[in-house]
Every structure is written in C-alpha cells, then in structure tokens.
Amino acid sequence: MDSGYRATDASFSGGTLVCNCASNPVKVKVSGDIAHNHACGCTKCWKPAGANFSVVAVAPTDKIEVLENGNKLAVVDPAALIQRHACKECGVHMHGPVEREHPFQGLSFIHPERFEGKGWAQPGFAAFVSSIIESGFDPSKIDEVRSKLRSSELEAYDCLSPGLMDYIATWTAKKSGAMENAITIENTGRIRAKLVAEAANGPVSFQAEKELLEKGVIILPDLFVNAGGVIVSYFEWVKNLTHIPFGLMERRRRERRNAQITSAMESMTGKDFPEHMRDEFLEGGSEIDLVRSGLDDVMRGAYHRMATVLSEHPEIRDFRTAAYYVALKEIGDAYKAIGI
Ligand SMILES: N[C@@H](CCC(=O)N[C@@H](CSCO)C(=O)NCC(=O)O)C(=O)O
Ligand SMILES: [Zn+2]
C-alpha cells in the first residue's frame, strides 16, 4: 500500500492469482472483474510480511477455479464465515468463498496483489482499521494511520464502508421480514415456500400477494401473525389497571394443591412421581407462563375465527380477507350493540 498501485484498467477481466512459493505455486483463476477492493486491518485476512493491512476484494465464487497445486490448500478456520483457503507452504490466502447464508454468500474473497497481471481495481476504502491494534499495533499511533490512509484517498472505517454496511443491514432486515415490500413481483418467482407468515408489516406487495395466492401459497397476514406484541401490551395495560401481577393471588395455593396431588398419586400408586416432571408440575404458574398461555389462547382463537370465515364463506379465499372480515364484523357488531 505504501508504494502505491499500478493504474486501474477499466477493461480488466480477471487473471490468475499465484501464491508465494518459489516452486509448485498454487494458481487460482478468476474469470471476470473483481469488486469492493479494500484495505483490511482485521486479524483474519492474509497480509504480506510486515504489513498492517491486507488488500482484499471479492469475485463471484463461480468465477473462481483452482488451476494448479490445489492439494497445497487448506481452510484456515472452518468455523469462519469466509472459508479462507491458504497455501500450507507459504501461507498466502488464495481464495475465500462465503458459502453460508449471508449477504456475501456466493462471493469469494481474494487478494488482488497476487494477480500475475495488472490493471485490477485499486482499493476504494480501508476497513477494520482499529483491528490492527489486535495484531499488536500501538493504539497511540492509530490516528497517524487514519491520516495516512486518508491522504492515500482511502477513507478509514472500523467495520466495512457505509455502502456495504447498508447492504448488509438491508439484507438482514429483508430476511427478518422487518421491511415492507420484501416480497414483490420481482422475486415471487424465486419463492418456493408453501406458507408465508408476515412477521412484520406489509412485507408482501399487493401484486405479489395476488401471484402467490394464484400459485396456492398460503399467506398468514401481518395483522394476525405479528399481533403478539399488541396482545401482550393489552395484558400489560390490564395489569397496570388492576395494580396486581397476573397470578399473584393463586400461585402459592396452586403450588400447595399440586404438591397434594403429587403425594396423593404417590401414596395411591406406591410409586414416585417422575422426577423429570416434578418441578414443572409443582410450579404454581409464574407470571410469564400465564402471559404466554394467554397469548397462545388469543392467537389460537383468532386463527380459529379466520378459519371459520374461510370455511363458511367460499367467496373469501385468503387469510388476509378473512382477518379483515372478522375485524370489521366485530367493530360492526359492537356499534350495533350500542345502538350506533
Ligand atoms: N476485529 C476482528 C474483525 C474480524 C472481521 O470481522 N473481519 C471481517 C472482514 S474480512 C474482509 O474485509 C470479516 O468479515 N470476517 C469474516 C471472517 O473472518 O470469516 C479481527 O481483527 O479479528
Ligand atoms: Zn479482513
């Protein structure tokens, strides 16, 4: 990094990475351009001797091919996200695919300085800068490093660049269902699920829902699936109004009753109550158990009401419409009951 880079060639289309061995070097072909080239200060990436930073980029894993002496490669840490394949003799990391489910899945980390040819894209930023301290760098000198990086036009970050962090967060949010329109007509074709449960609000677009329903996919709507938070908030409200925790009045009495039942069963049968059930059976029901039980009951009741609507009204064919039917009918009935 200190001695600079050869110019980026816009027409660069890959090449061969070669390890540091004087004889029988490992050779890995990259068929296509690289992306996100950056300097990395982390302790995991391979660095040339004496360097504080590695230079590391990604390429699609299906564009990577081990050409020669692959038998010299071993995975550095099989538990790591990046499966860094290093040459057992010289230690250079030759390729590191990300195979597990992750925003970088399908990409392989490589070190462009190991390309035989030139023209590869220069690093665009510096990542994991503070991590160099973990390798023994003097923390009091870290500001000098940051300034030096910036003067080489490498913005210094302690994780990845904001663009990549946003990409990772977006992937995570979409996966958790915490984003609206995570399923649209752009990606319904790739959905193999038979059941979609909307864990957050509005994850399936209107058009996508139509397509999925036509394909026979069952969609459990957001207003049902993620109602748990609202239900337990209601329990909390009721508890606040009564100024008393759920189960306070009955718990000890129930414990005594359960102990009586246990000893009666033991004396009637002449056998000990099964040890693995004893504690749970004797327990009088803590507040959290009661809240979970109440939540379970409300959710089952709500599901049952939607299912009844679906079976009694053939013109209603999906759970969302059934849920709205139930909700609006209850509001209507309540209005009628008070004469509005
Ligand atoms: N402080 C730690 C950071 C290690 C780390 O998280 N490294 C990143 C970046 S590597 C290329 O940019 C990472 O994604 N690692 C995943 C992995 O190593 O499998 C340290 O320095 O050790
Ligand atoms: Zn790294």
pLDDT of the chain, 340 residues: tens digit per residue: 888 888 888 899 999 999 999 999 999 999 999 999 999 999 999 999 999 999 999 999 999 999 999 999 999 999 999 999 999 999 999 999 999 999 999 999 999 999 999 999 999 999 999 999 999 999 999 999 999 999 999 999 999 999 999 999 999 988 877 788 989 999 999 999 999 999 889 999 999 999 999 999 999 999 999 999 999 999 999 999 999 999 988 889 989 999 999 999 999 999 999 998 888 888 877 899 999 999 999 999 999 999 999 999 999 999 999 999 999 999 999 999 999 8
| Domain assignment of residue 122, yes or no | yes
Which ligand places an atom closest to the C-alpha of 47? 2
Q: Which residue is closest in CA terms to ligand 1's atom 6?
A: 42
Question: Per the annotation, does 19 bind a ligand?
Answer: yes
Task: State residue 170 phi and psi, 5-degree precision.
Answer: -65, -45
* Under 8 Å between Cβ of 66 and 72: no
| Domain assignment of residue 146, yes or no | yes
122 in the same domain as 231: no
Which ligand places an atom closest to the C-alpha of 131? 1
- Which of 295, 293, 290, 285 lies closest to 232, judged by CA? 295
- For ligand 1, pick from 82, 98, 133, 164 the residue to mutate: most ligand atoms within 8 Å of CB: 82
Amino acid, res. 68: E
| Domain assignment of residue 186, yes or no | no
Please identify which of the residues 26, 34, 39, 42 carries the catalytic annotation.
Answer: 42
**333 CA distance to ligand 1 centroid (A)?**
59
315 in the same domain as 247: yes
CA distance 123 to 111: 11
230 in the same domain as 158: no
pLDDT of residue 286: 87
Among this protein's residues, is 42 annotated catalytic?
Answer: yes
231 in the same domain as 158: no
Q: Domain range spanning residue 131?
A: 14-164
**45 CA distance to ligand 2 centroid (A)?**
4
| Domain assignment of residue 135, yes or no | yes
pLDDT of residue 299: 98
CATH number at residue 313: 3.40.50.720
- For ligand 1, pick from 42, 100, 101 the residue to mutate: most ligand atoms within 8 Å of CB: 42
234 in the same domain as 160: no
Helices (H), the chain: 142-151, 162-176, 206-214, 222-225, 228-242, 251-269, 275-282, 287-312, 319-337
| Domain assignment of residue 211, yes or no | no
Q: What are the strands of the beta sheet with 107-110, ordered from one edge?
A: 73-75, 85-87, 93-97, 107-110, 54-60, 35-40, 125-127, 155-156
Q: Which residue has the tokens 């049968």?
A: 269
| Domain assignment of residue 192, yes or no | no
pLDDT of residue 216: 96
241 in the same domain as 150: no
| Domain assignment of residue 8, yes or no | no
pLDDT of residue 187: 92
Among this protein's residues, is 159 annotated catalytic?
Answer: no
pLDDT of residue 154: 96
pLDDT of residue 5: 83
| Domain assignment of residue 330, yes or no | yes
Question: Per the annotation, does 90 bind a ligand?
Answer: yes
pLDDT of residue 6: 82
Q: Out of 132, 148, 164, pick the residue that ends a domain.
A: 164
- Lining residues, ligand 1, CB within 6 Å: 40, 42-45, 56, 80-82, 109, 127-128, 131, 134
203: which residues sit within 8 A by CB, 6+ positions away? 177, 179, 180, 181, 182, 183, 222
CATH number at residue 53: 3.90.1590.10
60 in the same domain as 160: yes
Question: Per the annotation, does 42 bind a ligand?
Answer: yes
- For ligand 1, pick from 44, 76, 131 the residue to mutate: most ligand atoms within 8 Å of CB: 44
Atom of ligand 1 nearest to the CA of 84: 19
Question: Per the annotation, does 159 bind a ligand?
Answer: no
CA distance 69 to 25: 7
Which ligand places an atom closest to the C-alpha of 165? 1
